[in-house]
Amino acid sequence: MKNNVQIGLWLLLLTGLGIIVYNIWLRETTYPPLPYTQFLSELQQNKILRVHLQGGAISGEDSAGRDFTTYAPEISTLMPLLLAHGVEITAEPPPYEGAGGLAATILPLLLIMGGWFLFSRNRSGGTAFTGNRSKRFTPNSGRRITFDDVAGIAEARQELQEVVEFLKNPERFSRLGGRIPKGVLLQGPPGTGKTLLAKAIAGEASVPFYSMGGSDFVEMFVGVGASRVRELFTEAKKNAPCIIFIDEIDAIGGKRSGGTASGGGDEREQTLNALLVEMDGFGSEETVIVLAATNRPDILDPALLRPGRFDRQVTIPIPDVKGRLKILEVHIKKIRAAKSLNLPEIARSTPGFSGADIANLVNEAALMAARRNKDAVEMEDFDNAKDKIVMGLERKNVVMSEENRRITAYHEAGHAIVAKLLPETDPLHKVTIIPRGRAMGLTQQLPIDDRLTYSREYITNRIKILMGGRIAEELIFNRLTTGASNDILSATEIATRLVCEWGMSETIGPVAYMQEQAGFLGNQSAGRPHSERTAILIDREVKRIISDCCDETRNLLRQHNRLLHQLAEVLLVNETVDAEELDIVFHCYLKELQKEEDMKRQHRCAIA
């Protein structure tokens, strides 16, 4: 390819030079210049038939039919003579002369040559224009990332360990006729460590590792992405065994539109096609494993997942409580942690956090501690960091009206009391009326572990806890506010799942009905479609469950009306009440209740 380019260049240069030389030769040779004096004498003798003037340059024909050229030092004196002798005159403006003339000839030529040069480099996939963006990780450069850096993903790790084995000694596997996998797709929500895992594979396998982001392939210029793919595979095949890693492959691997050529989409399709061609193109004798990562497996073109391409898919889920603890342990090593730090509790209080969230939490906690000039990061810093991450920054500067504060205090107290008094609920962690993010207050519960199954009682109690806030407001202030909209949304969602997904409603029965929800990994089509009539039944059932829960919650809060006032008062004074303080409030209340019972009994006895 390179040689062709050079030959082409030389050809072009020679042609250009040839044209210039030929032009000069034409001018110099075909019309031998006539001395001006001779021209004048011929003119006097009426021997000149016609002339063509171009500035001072004169070309023309004499009466004998011969062409001639000459140069006139002074046109203005010549004109009357030409007219007097009846010479036919044509004229045009003078051309650029000298260096300018030369430049005018050569400059466009140079431009064309330059453009062609760049274009051909582009086609052949050189480095000048497209840029070789793939990063080659050499196993020994920098800090080596290993599987030990990626915590809490035991299953995925085992599967990927196998990939590492393939790369380390491919013969062992191919000897028995097994086909070494070509493509492995890592899929999972953002921040679960897919990129990290790919780097760890490189670190473990000690083979060259070519990494490229999916968006690197998508360029302004059509064809560049495709040529980058080809370039990447050529390079990799030369260095087999090795790994190619395409991060965020959904950037190029999205479903193809199917022929509608539309700008960027067209470019993406070309790139994807090039990738498919390359993946089909190498045989099992070349040990190149293509790793890819995505958090949108649902939008990937099905062609990518066919056998011989990314036929191995490894799912990396959001970590559970044990996973979170392991990830915490990895990241806690990077900071100076206080001895009092209770890692299991941090892990328990961060359900739904991804690995990246946990890494961020540890970092934020360290920053919080540093801001307070502490020597070590303490539990309190983790609490604050978590609040900051979960709810957005504390809006301390937002002044809440006293009225709003009171409503919020009763609302949160309502949640807390229902949670505390009902059985089968998660223990309370803390209650606060400090506004954070968009929430006015917050009642936080700590799940004991990541439950995999829930009892019907647990679920309906969750609905009651959620409704507790709104109902407390209603009981005390006798009016409704918008502060409970999130609670109502969650409660409705839970009730709907209870009916449609978990088959826990008596009227509907244990049948799973389809709901419109975008589940991760595209499992949203679970359940059967249903008729209009069933839809009405489902609606009615959801409404009934919620209103039953509301009634029970209302009764509970009425019965413990005094506790509601007490807790709300504590909240108004302290703003935040943690689990221990909550216990004290409840304990005092129950003791009081007991005392009253006793007194009532004594009173009754006295009467009797």
Is position 195 an interface residue for Mg ion (rule: CB under 5 A)? yes
Q: Angle 205-210-214 (CA atoms, 0-180°, nearest 5)?
A: 125
Min separation Cβ 156 and Mg ion, Å: 14
**CA-to-CA distance for 62 and 47, rounded, in angstroms?**
6
Print burial letters for 39-73: b (CB count within 10 Å at least 16), e (below 16): bbebbeeeebeebebeeebbbbebeeeeebbbebe
Q: Packing angle between helix 402-421 and helix 579-607, nearest 10 degrees? A: 70
**CA-to-CA distance for 348 and 342, rounded, in angstroms?**
10
Min separation Cβ 473 and Zn ion, Å: 9
**CA-to-CA distance for 241 and 168, rounded, in angstroms?**
8
Name the segment binding Mg ion (CB under 5 A); options: 61-69, 190-198, 403-411, 579-587: 190-198
Name the segment binding ligand ADP (CB under 6 A); options: 37-45, 150-158, 486-494, 569-577: 150-158
**CA-to-CA distance for 228 and 271, rounded, in angstroms?**
8
Min separation Cβ 378 and Mg ion, Å: 31
In the complex with ligand ADP, the residue whose CB is nearer, 152 or 254, is 152
Cis peptide before 35 (omega within 30 of 0): no
Q: What torsion do the CA atoms of 299, 252, 257, 234 make, to the nearest 10 degrees?
A: -130
Exactly one of 278, 487, 541, 552 binds Zn ion (CB under 5 A); which one? 487
In the complex with ligand ADP, the residue whose CB is nearer, 53 or 163, is 163
For 42, the token pair is 């011929």
Tell me which of Mg ion, Zn ion, ligand ADP, none is bound by residue 330, counting a contact when its beta carbon lies within the kind-specific cut-off of 5 to 8 angstroms.
Answer: ligand ADP
Mark residues 464-493: x for contact with Mg ion by CB under 5 A, - for none: ------------------------------
Min separation Cβ 316 and ligand ADP, Å: 7
Question: Of the listed 219, 378, 412, 541, which one is catalytic?
Answer: 412
Q: How large is the C-alpha radius of gyration of the chain?
A: 41
Name the segment binding ligand ADP (CB under 6 A); options: 120-128, 145-153, 176-184, 485-493: 145-153
Instruction: Decide: 186 and 317 in contact? Cβ < 8 Å.
Output: no
Is position 295 an interface residue for Mg ion (rule: CB under 5 A)? no
In the complex, residue closest to ligand ADP by CB: 355
Residue 493: how many other CB atoms lie within 10 Å: 15
Name the segment binding Zn ion (CB under 5 A); options: 155-163, 300-308, 321-329, 461-469: 461-469
In the complex, residue closest to Mg ion by CB: 195
Mark residues 286-325: x for contact with ligand ADP by CB under 6 A, - for none: -------x--------------------------------
Name the segment binding Mg ion (CB under 5 A); options: 101-109, 139-147, 188-196, 412-420: 188-196
Mark residues 160-199: x for contact with ligand ADP by CB under 6 A, - for none: ------------------------------xxxxxxx---
DSSP 439: B
Tell me which of Mg ion, Zn ion, ligand ADP, none is bound by residue 214, counting a contact when its beta carbon lies within the kind-specific cut-off of 5 to 8 angstroms.
Answer: none
* Interface size with ligand ADP, residues (CB under 6 A): 17
Min separation Cβ 502 and Zn ion, Å: 24
Is position 534 an interface residue for Mg ion (rule: CB under 5 A)? no
Min separation Cβ 462 and Mg ion, Å: 33
Q: Angle 131-136-140 (CA atoms, 0-180°, nearest 5)?
A: 155
**CA-to-CA distance for 549 and 571, rounded, in angstroms?**
25
In the complex with ligand ADP, the residue whose CB is nearer, 151 or 476, is 151
Instruction: Decide: 316 and 187 in contact? Cβ < 8 Å.
Output: yes
Instruction: Decide: 252 and 213 in contact? Cβ < 8 Å.
Output: no
Tell me which of Zn ion, ligand ADP, Mg ion, none is bound by residue 487, counting a contact when its beta carbon lies within the kind-specific cut-off of 5 to 8 angstroms.
Answer: Zn ion
Cis peptide before 427 (omega within 30 of 0): no
Is position 181 an interface residue for Zn ion (rule: CB under 5 A)? no
Min separation Cβ 500 and Zn ion, Å: 24
Exactly one of 58, 72, 82, 153 binds ligand ADP (CB under 6 A); which one? 153
In the complex with ligand ADP, the residue whose CB is nearer, 150 or 274, is 150
Q: Which amino acid is at 208?
A: P
**CA-to-CA distance for 532 and 538, rounded, in angstroms?**
10
In the complex with ligand ADP, the residue whose CB is nearer, 60 or 213, is 213
Give the up-direction half-sphere exposure of residue 491: CA atoms within 13 A in the CB hemisphere. 26
Instruction: Decide: 405 and 442 in contact? Cβ < 8 Å.
Output: no
Q: Which amino acid is at 438?
A: R
Active site residue 412: yes
In the complex, residue closest to Zn ion by CB: 469
Residue 506 region by backbone torsions, left for phi larger than 0, else alpha for psi between -120 and 50, else beta: alpha
Is position 327 an interface residue for ligand ADP (rule: CB under 6 A)? yes
In the complex with ligand ADP, the residue whose CB is nearer, 57 or 356, is 356
Q: Which amino acid is at 315?
A: T
H or E segment to which residue 135 belongs: strand 135-137
Is position 151 an interface residue for ligand ADP (rule: CB under 6 A)? yes
Q: Are strands 135-137 and 88-92 parallel, antiparallel or unpaired?
A: unpaired
How far is C-alpha 158 from the chain's CA centre? 27
In the complex with ligand ADP, the residue whose CB is nearer, 362 or 495, is 362
Is position 468 an interface residue for Zn ion (rule: CB under 5 A)? no
Which of 216, 356, 214 lies closest to 296 in space, CA to CA?
214
The CA distances from residue 83 to 65, 86, 323, in Å, are 20, 5, 104
Segment 350 to 379, residues that bind ligand ADP, using CB under 6 A:
355-356, 359
* Interface size with Mg ion, residues (CB under 5 A): 1
Tell me which of ligand ADP, Mg ion, Zn ion, none is bound by residue 469, counting a contact when its beta carbon lies within the kind-specific cut-off of 5 to 8 angstroms.
Answer: Zn ion
**CA-to-CA distance for 252 and 60, rounded, in angstroms?**
67
Q: Indicate the SS3 state at residue 125.
A: coil
Is position 469 an interface residue for Zn ion (rule: CB under 5 A)? yes
Name the segment binding ligand ADP (CB under 6 A); options: 151-159, 167-175, 376-384, 595-603: 151-159
Min separation Cβ 439 and Zn ion, Å: 8
In the complex with ligand ADP, the residue whose CB is nearer, 242 or 293, is 293
Active-site residue list: 412
- Which residues sit at the interface with Zn ion, rule CB under 5 A? 469, 487
Applying CB under 5 A, the residues found at the interface with Mg ion are: 195
Positions that interact with ligand ADP (CB under 6 A): 150-153, 190-196, 293, 327, 330, 355-356, 359
